[in-house]
Structure 1
Amino acid sequence: MIDLQVNGYAGVDFNSDELTLEQVEHGCERLRQDGVNGILATIITADHDAMCRRLANVAKIREQSSSVAQMIIGLHIEGPFLSPIPGYIGAHPTEHACPANLDLTKRLLEAGDGLTRLFTLAPEQDLTGETTGWLNDQEILVAAGHCNPSLDQLKASIDAGLKLFTHLGNGCPMQMHRHDNIIQRALSLSDKLIICFIADGAHIPLFALKNYIRCVGIEHSIVVSDTISAAGLGPGTYHLADQTVIIEEDLVPWAEDRSHFVGSACPLKTMVANLQTIGLTSLEIDCLVRYNPRKLLGI
């Protein structure tokens, strides 16, 4: 399986400033044991200097180990060009969200040493499409996420080079307009986008996920885990970047104030079992977790 969004795994946080080679090798080995053959290590919104340090650290560690290089096939930068509006910002720190600009984009990519394969931003934070277009010209996949663009803004972003939508159904408020909302806008354009979903049953109830996948179509859908360091470890207190995460018996990661989820603690193999429960065939599931992400990345 290939996972496009992994913040951490088995006690390892890719967004930690204290990340070590030994930790990453351990996380990669656990991923391998759980049936994952490649990931995009995901660095989320933080102080912009800290984001650069963390990207550079993952890239440096990857150079030091062939087993890590085989597992971490690239980087996913999620932020900081996200909507700062409560609900849409999700678990990302609002104070570090900002409008898109090329100078910071280039700094982030340079820190990642050419490994960035996917960049998530909010289309309404890049109204001219300059950053989206530039990233597309660099052959970096651009995804919308943690965003609330109008339908016209989303269409314009697609015209500029937007290719994906990051974990649709999340990174948005619990209460929205019943029809004109970001989920419906993205679904209406899913013939032009690859839509990613978190299939843990908590971020999207499985019955709703079944509806979404039926609407989008298997060929335009990908399942990602969005796992944090807590994945595979059970209840406890964990960390993602500078945040404390509480996990109880239901294994759903919550912010300390229980206002929102903070990533997922559900391994991809468990998501495969969830997909079986909603009636997807083995071939359909293989498309969602194997063939489609490989095709997208050209591997």
Structure 2
Amino acid sequence: MSGFVDLQVNGYAGVDFNSEDLTQADVVNVCERLAADGVEQILATIITAPHSQMCSRIARIANWIDTIPEVRQRIPGLHIEGPFISPVDGFVGAHPMDAVQPATVEVAQQFLDAGNGHVQLLTLAPECDADARVTRFLSEQGVVVAGGHSDTSIAQLDRCIDAGLRMFTHLGNGCPGTMHRHDNIIQRVLSRSERLMISFVADGHHVPTFALKNYLNCMPSENVIIVSDAITAAGLGPGQYKLSGQTVYVDDDYAAWAECRTHFAGCATTLPRMQEILVSELDASDAQIEAWMKSNPKRLLR
């Protein structure tokens, strides 16, 4: 199957979108590999770093979108993940804690300026967006705002939904291994699944397939999105790789671990492999695959 749309790709096939050494040729090569793997479009994802560094990385890819037709065709925009996320261990995930900051309109505007109209999605923690000002600002600029890397309360989540929050990024990832048995971020977000699109990493590691099945069964199919959260190692197999200056280890089961080996750092599984997992282990139908991996994410692209 082809025509996949992936809203979260940090890198692919040996290329890291957050590397200071990224070249135009690297991005063109990624586009060719994505096409070969049946991926129609992606959002290149820039993750938390000092915001001036993030702006430089955003501007570089935005320029290639503007000037290189094959890049523009495969990468219609950017997903900014951070730096407005929770600084709490576990919720911050593999993002560098020292670069996390509260959400401000000023920094958000710098990202938009750097992106030259190509920033399509930004993930933030609602509890880090005072009075939902940044969520409202970005939504008014036509940017899809998603929650993520967050321990938001129901009240904070609702406040941001009312201000324009439309999605939650890779639910079940970007949270600690030990949480309250009932009142936790997964349950809070699922309770709002009629109002939010929710993305999941369906590699069998970030969310065990039996848990993913439960989550998918309790929410509207039209609000489900499968993302790869792919990193440099995606499509390359086991080994040691770089992700935004960090070392990532991919084991024999294709789980991508941070150097400390306590949490995952992105994903090394491709969307075609995720489709296989969804079909073989969750009995996903052709209609569900079409919705979750193509039409639902495509609705968010402008």
Residues 1:262 and 2:265 aligned together: yes
What per-residue deviation string (whole Å, max 9, x for no partner) do you get for residues 31-86 of structure 1?
11000010000000011111011101111222332111100011000000000000
Provide the C-alpha distance between the structure 2 equivalents of 1:38 and 1:27, rounded to a whole number of angstroms: 11
Quote the Cα distance in structure 2 between the aligned partners of 1:134 and 1:143.
13
Task: Kindly state the Cα deviation for residue 127 of structure 1 after the two structures are TM-superposed.
Answer: 2.5
Aligned partner of 1:45: which letter? T
What is the one-letter code of the residue matched to 2:273? T
Letter in 2 for 1:275: L
Counterpart CA distance in 2 for 1:35 and 1:90 is 29
Query: Which moved further from structure 2: 152-161 or 78-87?
Result: 152-161
- 1:25 aligned to 2:28? yes
Provide the TM-score with structure 2 as the length reference: 0.97
- Give, in whole Å, the separation in 2 of the partners of 1:134 and 1:263: 28
Gapped runs of 5+ residues in structure 2?
A: none
Does 1:285 find its partner at 2:289? yes
CA contact (8 A) 1:195 1:216 kept: no
Task: Verify: 1:51 aligned to 2:54, yes or no.
Answer: yes
CA distance in 1, matches of 2:17, 2:291: 27
1:10 pairs, out of 13, 22, 29, with: 13
Q: Retained in 2: the 8 A contact 1:127–1:153?
A: no
Partner of 1:132: 135
* Pairwise CA distance, 1:242: 1.7
The partner residue of 2:103 within 96, 100, 104 is: 100
- 1:8: how far off? 0.5
TM-score, normalised relative to structure 1: 0.98
**Counterpart Cα distance in 1 of 2:72 and 2:163:** 31
Q: How much identity, in percent, do the aligned residues show? A: 52
> What are the equivalent positions in structure 2 for 1:110-189 lying under 5 Å apart?
110-189=113-192
Q: Are the aligned partners of 2:65 and 2:76 in contact in 1 as well (CA < 8 Å)?
A: no
Note the C-alpha offset of 1:108. Answer: 1.1
1:169-198 superposed Cα distances (whole Å, 9 cap, x missing partner): 111000000000000000001100000000
Structure 1 segments, 4+ long, off by >2 Å, are 61-64
Q: C-alpha distance in 2, partners of 1:292/1:130?
A: 27
Rounded Cα–Cα distance in structure 2 between residues aligned with 1:95 and 1:108 = 19
Q: Aligned residues, how many?
A: 298
Q: Which runs of 5+ in 1 are unaligned?
A: none
Q: Deviations over 1:215-262 (max 9, x none)?
A: 112111000000001000111111111211111211111111102111
